[in-house]
Every structure is written in structure tokens, then in C-alpha cells.
Structure 1
Amino acid sequence: MNDVVVRDVTLRDGLQLVSAVMPTKHKIELVRFLLDCGLPTLEVGAVVRPDRVPSMADTLDVVAALDPDTLDRCWVLVPNATGARRAIDAGLRQIQYVLSVSPSHNKANVGCDVEQSLDGLAAAVALGREHGVPVQVALATAFTCPFEGQTPEDAVLAVVTDSRVAGVDSVVLCDTIGQAVPAHVAGLTAAVCEVAGSVWFHGHDTWGLGVANTFAAVGAGAVAVDASLGGLGGCPFAPGASGNTALEDVLYALRPSWLTPTAYHRLVARGQDLLAELGEPSRSRAADGATRSPGSHPWALAAGSPR
């Protein structure tokens, strides 16, 4: 568990459902802060239509402010080959291409059918190879869909084994609306690991199983997991979606080798400040525990300086 990569997605998925606008300057500062705390990688935004997701309108402005070493640890999400081209032209070193396994959600989320998205993925992979940029595919609604119910495992495997997916660097299984349970997560993750080289897990905590599902995915072979500060986030095109699995909860549970109590204190405190800035409630049980526990517990805020 200590070797699992934890990717922070606060600046992408975390901001999608937030009504308050986070200034570009603050986004850039948060990127640097998170990396300074030790997080190995993070999403910094999405190259999407600003009228569809206004909070992502300044993504390329954020990217332009980051130095090459920082960009080596950053991802952006794209929904099509045009977005991939724009991201690569802006200097991005890692791209996540999103498509939904369920046709109805793919139409709602990216405005086309699954076949069109797969064609776009193939084009994005070709662009990535041309420029030395790895492309990851994120499979939304891999477990359940808000419109179609449970997603058949065969449908997921059909996408993963499609020839247009062959060139991707890794596959992300997304519990888009947080309805999956650990047995389901473990089973699908194991099945996909058999046919894909590198599998990641993106969970939501809608039903309170975000951390449990994260552990299930890792136990079944996932090499990396996503989380956001305070459990911010959710898909604006998926009714019933709520926040991501909280970064504070995932880190407290997994204890990656780079994480120290001091770094954890800094992350918890920054998460509290961010939520206050955005006017959002915290969904992190571990952050709540860290603020309430006595100093005898080394991971509690009272045990050390939070900043």
C-alpha cells in the first residue's frame, strides 16, 4: 500500500461542481503547494469548452505559469483529439483522455457516442506518440451510470481491449457517481489488470465507501488512485454525483512512503483554508479527526505546526 501513487485531482474534478470561482493565481499557488508537500502527481485542470465547465476556463493559463519540472508531474483532462492537440501545444507532458463506457453518459458528458470517442482517443494517442506525451484513458461510468444503472463488466472489457485503446499508457477505472462497493471494485479491477498494463482507480465517496473502494482497487492490482482535498468534486453531467474520495482520508489510510505527519498537517490545514475560500463543506472524516484528536496522536494537528 505504501508504494501506491496518490494523485490529487482537486484542481480538476474537485472544482467542477463548485460555484465559487478560484482565481488563477490561487490555482498556481495550490499546484506548487501540493507538490512541495510531497504529492507525486496531480491534475491541474481540463481543456474543455468554458461554457460547459466554466471553472476550467483558465487551465492553459495555469499550465503556462508552470516550469518544465513541475509540468512533468501534472496531468490535464481532455475529451477529444482537439483538446489533446491544444494541451500538447501548451507544453503538457501527460494527458488524460476521458470517455464513458455507458453511451448515455458519454453523450451527456462529452457530446458524442462511444465509437466517436474511441476514434478521438486513437487520434490523441497518435499525437502523444508524435510528441513523446503519454496518454491515459479514464473510463467514466465503469461501475454504474446515472442513466443506465450498473455497467456490465463485459462492456468495460470491450472498451479496454478495443484496438483504439492499445496505445494508451494506463487505464483509469472511474466510479463516477460513487455507487460501487469493494467487491465490485476488486472484481473489475482484477479483470482489467489482466488485459491492461497499468490500472488506476478514481473513486467518489457518495455512499461513504471511497476509502474502502480505494483499498479494494489497490488490493486487486491498481497502481495509483485519485483523491481531492476535503472530498471536493463531482461530475456536472452525472445526476447524483458528489465529491471525490477525500485526499486527507486516502493519505491517512494508505500512508505512502513520502508522507510525514508534518506534511499531513500542512495538507489538512490547506484543505480547511481552501474549503473556507470556496464556501464548501469538508467531506473528509480524517481531516475532522485530525482537528479533534489530542496531541498524543502524531497525525493530529495538535501534534505539530499545521503550516
Structure 2
Amino acid sequence: MSGIVLRDVTLRDGLQLTGKPLPTERKVDLVRALLAAGVPELEIGSLARGDLVPPLADTLDVVAALTPEELDRCWVWVATPRHVQKAVAAGARNVQYCFSVSDAHNNANIGRDTEVSLAAMPDAVQHALDAGGRIQLCLATAFTCPFDGPVDPERVREIVADPRTAGSCDVIVCDTLGQAVPSEVGTLVERVSAVADGRRIGFHGHDTWGQGVANALAAAGSGATLVDGALGGLGGCPFAPGASGNTATEDLLFAFRPDWLTPAVLAGLVTAGEDLLGELGEPNRSRAAQGLRSRAAAFPWTAGPRS
């Protein structure tokens, strides 16, 4: 599936639950290392309140430190039209307008009902387009809600088909809790694709129940062309009880094998993930990283233990 775009979300979703902050300069260095490795797109931060999500409080500083060419491949999480204005004023080119399909999680996450977020989206779109940028529609809790349980897939379809989401370039469906299974993911991606009016479909998964890679493959098989991952499976939502880390970038890359990926590039990304997780004191959940460090010398994707 060489046409799949991998977006690394380490610097946004990956850092949300970390107890140890990562310096701005280290974030900028990581952005540049990932882009240089060939990762097509990155999510580099959030405009969420810094007092509520301290690891992301310096997002605008990260944006300001990057070049326009680098920012063309980077996304910033936003939840309001004002967020969009602040992001593009700092130089951001691409914003991900996110709200939850379930009211309960949207209120816990950004303090308003889903309908309020949806009603504000046209203004958010206009701010992004006026700045010459792009804006995604990102739907959290598209499968299950930590407070209300299973989410009606028809509600997801209705939001994507709503004319107030027009102008967005992509639709991202999120398995926020990692509770979906491949059959559910494939079915929802097909339903969303049918009403997306040509927009790119992305899948953002978590590996809570061990289905992260399988779900991403199911999404791709049903029409998604973008999948999200974080180095070492880092991350989770601070406002979603039961959410664990993202699907590991390394595991997704090993499964999808995009054209730009070579054994040496994968080894470099595994090393970058190991270094980052070591700095943060976080566990490495990537199975591909574990496999790469094995002594199976006859397999070209192994690199052996670090010296």
C-alpha cells in the first residue's frame, strides 16, 4: 500500500500525557529529523490551553521556529476559530479542526457540545483559507466514547455530510480509545468516504486493545489514504479515561512499507523513538522496534542491539 501517507503525531497526541516536558528546541530538532527521514506529514502541537495540557504550551514557539517549507508538511490541532487565527498568525499553514462526535467527550475535552463546535466550523474554515492554508475536519470518538459508550456511525456520517464542514481538505476519523476492531473501522471509513465529496480520508488509531495496525490496514483497504502514528506508541488523551498510546509509527511503517522507507530509515526512526522515550521516561510499545533490535541477521529489516 505504497500510496498511504503516514503522519507522525508524536509532538501532539504523543506528548499530551507525558509528565516530563520536552524543550522547544528538542521539539524543533525532532521535527527536522522526522522530515529529513522522509516522514511525509507531522502533527507538531496544539492550541489547547497550556494550563490543561502543559507539554503543548509552547506550540506557537515551535511553529515560529520552523521554515515555511517545513510548515507546509506540518499540522496544528485547533478547536475554535480563534485557535485558527492564532495558529496562522504564527505561521502555521495547516490546521486540524477537531471536535468529538459525542457531546460528553466534547464537553470534557473542549468545554462545549458537539453542535457548538460544528456551528463554528465555517468561521474556522474561512480563517484558514483566507491565510492560504488548509484545514482538516477531525472527528474524535468516532467509534466509542469513554462516557457514553458506542457511537452511532450514522452520526459520524451526518457530520461529514453536513455543509458546514465544506472547505475542509481532509476528514480524519479517530478511534480515540482504541476500542474499535477492523470490521468496524472498514465499515465506517466506507460510509464516510461515500459522503466526503472527494476529501482525503484519514484514520487516527490507538493501540489500547492491540488492534492499531490491523485497524489502520482495514481503514486503508476501505479508502483511507492517511494514517496517524507516534514514535514508540507514545500518547493518549488526558480527557478520555481508558485511552492509551497511539499506534506506533514504526509498526505502521513496517506494515505499510511506503516507497521512501528502507531498512536504514526504519532503523533511524527506531533509534529516534528510543532516544525520545528514554528522555521522557516512557515505555516503548513498538513491536517493530523490538523486532528490529533482534539478532535475526538474515532478515534485512533487523539492525541488532544498539552498541
Q: Which residue of 2 aligns with 1:31?
A: 31
Distance in 2 of aligned mates of 1:168 and 1:6: 19
Q: Which residue of 2 aligns with 1:286?
A: 288
Q: Which deviates further from its counterpart, 162-171 or 289-298?
A: 289-298
Alignment of 1:65-104 (within 5 A): 65-104=65-104
Structure 1 position 294, deviation (Å)? 2.3
Distance in 2 of aligned mates of 1:129 and 1:282: 38
The one-letter amino acid paired with 1:273 is D
Distance in 2 of aligned mates of 1:159 and 1:109: 18
Structure 1 position 119, deviation (Å)? 2.0
Q: Deviations over 1:80-118 (max 9, x none)?
A: 111110001111111101100000000000111111101
Q: Which residue of 2 aligns with 1:125?
A: 125
Distance in 1 of aligned mates of 2:4 and 2:254: 13
Q: Does 1:202 align with 2:204?
A: yes
Alignment of 1:164-243 (within 5 A): 164-196=164-196, 197=198, 198-243=200-245
Q: Which residue of 1 aligns with 2:148?
A: 148
The one-letter amino acid paired with 1:238 is A
The one of 258, 261, 281 equivalent to 1:259 is: 261
The one-letter amino acid paired with 2:125 is V
The one-letter amino acid paired with 2:156 is V
The one-letter amino acid paired with 1:186 is G
Structure 1 position 157, deviation (Å)? 1.0
Structure 1 position 131, deviation (Å)? 1.5
State the superposition RMSD in angstroms: 1.2
The one-letter amino acid paired with 1:281 is P
Q: TM-score, normalised by structure 1?
A: 0.97
Structure 1 position 52, deviation (Å)? 1.1
Specify whether residues 119 and 255 from structure 1 end up closer, same or farther in structure 2 by C-alpha distance, changes over 3 A only: same
Distance in 2 of aligned mates of 1:127 and 1:269: 39
| Consecutive unaligned residues in structure 1, runs of 5 or more | none
Q: Deviations over 1:45-69 (max 9, x none)?
A: 0112101111110001111110111
Q: Which residue of 2 aligns with 1:14?
A: 14
The one-letter amino acid paired with 1:41 is E
The one-letter amino acid paired with 2:35 is L
Moved over 6 A (4+): none
Distance in 2 of aligned mates of 1:201 and 1:132: 25
The one-letter amino acid paired with 2:23 is P
The one-letter amino acid paired with 1:233 is G
Q: Does 1:248 align with 2:245?
A: no
SS at match of 1:205: coil
Distance in 1 of aligned mates of 2:127 and 2:16: 27
The one-letter amino acid paired with 2:206 is H
